[in-house]
Structure 1
């Protein structure tokens, strides 16, 4: 049990740190990923997104509660609309969708830049 409460406390601190770095607040969504545990997807007030892994759904719930963030049932809708992506994410998504490399390439500069 001590490991579980330590992990919960660490995750709560990491969620709080993410929120502070990205506009002062964050929202989350918890997804069960099988024996691996649970994924906590986060979106900061500035639209930056990230995720953390918890060893269980219960640990994820406790950590998000302790961190004081709003947790949504799904990543769709209101939460997804807040996500802001940059060149890195777009190049990775395009590479995956088109069967190309998933390695990010530097963004091309416009002529005259």
Structure 2
């Protein structure tokens, strides 16, 4: 088994575990991020989100296929609407604009 195939198998296990932990299913979107590879953004059916890095778009797609992950072409409004943020996101990301702690 080639290294990229092994990595895809490990990513598939992580995707499956994420889905199981967050409502039983998930959907995702793959974004090319240059030489470092591809980012797989995951949104669980409970609204929890996370991401994983793959060495390439091809490896990310293989992992998604192995995990039976529903993929979207873009992180569109429909997908974003499913995301539920918690205190961390509000204080560290949005909080900067609304008087929360700085992001440093």
Q: What are the Cα deviations for residues 3-28 of structure 1, in whole angstroms up to 9, with x where unaligned?
A: 11110000000000000000000000
1:102 equivalent in alignment to 2:103: yes
CA radius of gyration, larger in: 1
Aligned to 2:13: 13
**SS of equivalent residue, structure 2 residue 8:** helix
- What are the ranges of 5 or more consecutive residues in structure 2 without an aligned counterpart? none
Aligned to 2:78: 78
Within 5 Å, give how 1:10-89 maps onto structure 2: 10-89=10-89
- Distance in 2, matches of 1:38 and 1:96, equals 28
Return the offset for 1:2: 1.4
Return the offset for 1:93: 1.2
CA separation of 1:9 and 1:34: change in aligned 2, threshold 3 A: same
CA separation of 1:32 and 1:97: change in aligned 2, threshold 3 A: farther
- What are the ranges of 5 or more consecutive residues in structure 1 without an aligned counterpart? 104-113
**Please, what TM-score do these two structures have when normalized by structure 1?**
0.84
Equivalences, count: 103
Q: Which is further off, 6-15 or 85-94?
A: 85-94
**SS of equivalent residue, structure 1 residue 15:** helix
Return the offset for 1:95: 4.4
**Please, what TM-score do these two structures have when normalized by structure 2?**
0.91
Q: Whose relative contact order is higher, 1 or 2, with alpha carbons under 8 Å and at least 6 apart?
A: 2
Root-mean-square deviation (CA, aligned residues, Å) is 1.7
